[in-house]
Structure 1
């Protein structure tokens, strides 16, 4: 942004912002009394001080696995390095996100096995009626009050 040049590294930075938006369940900015507030510096600070619980989307259903959250937030933060040379490559990003997905899939499988079928469907109906987000298809599809998104394998 400072040199008005777009590169693959600036795309990585933008992707990191999007990862944090997903994690936090909100856009990277907000308007307060007509003033634009960029949330990225606050997100980075909360990551550095290990206070992700203050910024992550509280209604993620099912809750994120600790290892998935750590892997996901680590890669999102790495994308936001000021120095573009220190940002990860897209191939490393994909590998790390696949690792986070595997952690989450194992966690979801354990959660599914712990809940009976009829209880699970009533739980899903209750969440959807309250406008909360929920994952389907082994965490590859999420329905939320934002949109329905599919994540191909």
Structure 2
């Protein structure tokens, strides 16, 4: 998500999970997302759809849940996959709407 190792010195002694939890609670987690992800790929950028905000929010939510301090607080792989598929569906739907609008207009 942020394009850095979990123990990168940029996060200080607290480490990535602690900083990410704090930023999530402050509503500033989006600021940690790797800028390369925000640019999206060439097709999405070309269509000026950019990153779908529902997709990003779904992705950030499940990523945050994976940072729970205890294993019992973390989602199962089944839940993670379901949420990531939902995030992808939001993005694909957004892309499809943009492609459709190009042909309709």
| TM superposition score normalised by structure 1 | 0.50
Q: Does residue 1:29 correspond to 2:7, yes or no?
A: yes
| Partner SS, residue 79 of structure 2 | helix
Aligned-pair Cα RMSD in Å: 2.5
Q: Give 1:58's match in structure 2, choosing from 25, 32, 35.
A: 35
Deviations along 1:118-146, one digit per CA (max 9) or x if unpaired, are: xxxxxxxxxxxxxxxxxxxxxxxxxxxxx
Q: Does residue 1:101 correspond to 2:88, yes or no?
A: yes
- 2:78 aligned partner: 91
User: Which structure has the higher relative contact order (CA within 8 Å, separation 6+)?
Assistant: 2
More strand by share: 1
Higher-Rg structure is 1
- Count of matched residue positions in the alignment of Structure 1 and Structure 2: 92
- 2:15 aligned partner: 38
Using a 3 Å threshold, how does the CA distance of structure 1 residues 47 and 37 change in structure 2: closer, same or farther? closer
Q: Distance between the aligned counterparts of 1:84 and 1:37, measured in 2?
A: 18
* Structure 2: gaps (5+ residues): 45-49
What does 1:1-153 correspond to in 2, within 5 Å?
23-31=1-9, 38-59=15-36, 60=38, 61=40, 62=44, 63-113=50-100
* Structure 1: gaps (5+ residues): 1-22, 117-153
More helix by share: 2
| TM superposition score normalised by structure 2 | 0.69
Using a 3 Å threshold, how does the CA distance of structure 1 residues 111 and 25 change in structure 2: closer, same or farther? farther
Q: Distance between the aligned counterparts of 1:92 and 1:37, measured in 2?
A: 27
Using a 3 Å threshold, how does the CA distance of structure 1 residues 114 and 52 change in structure 2: closer, same or farther? farther
